[in-house]
Amino acid sequence: MRLSGQTIIITGASSGIGAEAARKMARLGATVCLLARREDELESVRTEIEEAGGVAHAYAVDLADAQAADAVAARLLADHPRIDALVNNAGRSIRRPIKDSVDRVHDYERTMAINYFGALRLTLAMVPRFLQQGHGHVVISSSMSTQVPIPLFSAYLASKAALESFTRSLTAELGHQGMTSTVVYFPMVRTEMSGATQIYQAMPMLSADKAANWLVKAVVDKPTRVSSLPGAMGELGMAALPGVVTRVSQPLFRRMDKSLARRSKD
């Protein structure tokens, strides 16, 4: 029971990676606070955890709504005298070429609203409690695609990069007062979000169950990052030879998309 006595907040917990991570953390003894928009699905996850002997609390909220995000943060702080970790897992993704986005600034705004500002509001609300306790861990679900130059996801990746930078600054400023953080760089994961793109049905992906283990590791072990080997190698390549890596990767991604498109029709 490595998380016994700890209270963990998990956003995006009504399905996919967030729901699986909540189940696993509850089995490790944590009290899990489940946040997501879909109340029925959220209650289903809470009930399942409690029937298995765990402790869970459900908070239905749209974190893209600033007032709702502030209100749920206040409820969490009032309901739980101790909060040990916040897992910013909720998010949305848009797959669209930049040339098709020149008159769609709202795509970037709505992606930032949940992926960055929603997570930011919740994190900032927890900072005083974490400092008062002398400890607090922030985990963010990011993407391997921020480690290498990936096309077609500019809105999504910009929002994740912004959250990564904020999280690094958080630890740089407050690490000496007990604040720690982990960035989890997921590869493609088989979830509702990835399933919305038809060609990705033919792409090998990490299961939500295995991806949830990455979040559990982030909470239990508190490493600075959790990454795949290809992601880490891509990041090193971008640090050393960004121009070369970008030029070499461009035709590879174009060929991959064409291959996936063909396979998805078979």
Kindly state the DSSP code that residue 181 receives in the 8-state scheme.
E
- Tallying the residues shown for the chain, one arrives at 266
pLDDT score of 266: 59
Specify whether the CB–CB gap between 212 and 169 falls below 8 A.
no
Q: Check pLDDT > 90 for residue 256.
A: no
pLDDT score of 164: 97
Q: How far apart are CA 21 and CA 24, in angstroms?
A: 5
Q: How far apart are CA 157 and CA 65, in angstroms?
A: 21
What does the block give as tokens for 81? 């005298």
Q: How far apart are CA 156 and CA 230, in angstroms?
A: 20
Q: Check pLDDT > 90 for residue 223.
A: yes
pLDDT score of 254: 75
Q: Quote the percentage of the chain above a pLDDT of 90.
A: 80
pLDDT score of 1: 75
Predicted confidence (pLDDT) per residue in 126-181, tens digit:
999 999 999 999 999 999 999 988 888 999 999 999 999 999 999 999 999 999 99
Q: How far apart are CA 155 and CA 206, in angstroms?
A: 23
Give the Å distances, CA to CA, from 26 to 30, 33, 183: 5, 10, 21
Using pLDDT thresholds of 50, 70 and 90, give the confidence band for residue 191.
Answer: confident
Give the global pTM.
Answer: 0.92
- Annotated catalytic, 156? yes
Beta bridge partners of residue 33, listed in sequence order? 9, 57
Q: E strands, the chain, where?
A: 7-11, 31-36, 55-60, 85-88, 136-143, 179-186, 189-190, 206-207, 225-227
User: Span 198-209, mean pLDDT?
Assistant: 73
Using pLDDT thresholds of 50, 70 and 90, give the confidence band for residue 251.
Answer: confident
Q: Is 89 exposed, middle or buried (0-12, 13-18, 19+ CB in 10 A)?
A: buried
Q: Check pLDDT > 90 for residue 197.
A: no
Predicted confidence (pLDDT) per residue in 8-22, tens digit:
999 999 999 999 999
User: Span 111-115, mean pLDDT?
Assistant: 97
Domains present along the chain, CATH in parentheses: 7-265 (3.40.50.720)
Q: How far apart are CA 214 and CA 20, in angstroms?
A: 11
Considering the candidates 59, 108, 116, 156, report the single residue annotated as catalytic. Answer: 156
Using pLDDT thresholds of 50, 70 and 90, give the confidence band for residue 205.
Answer: confident
pLDDT score of 260: 58
Q: Check pLDDT > 90 for residue 257.
A: no
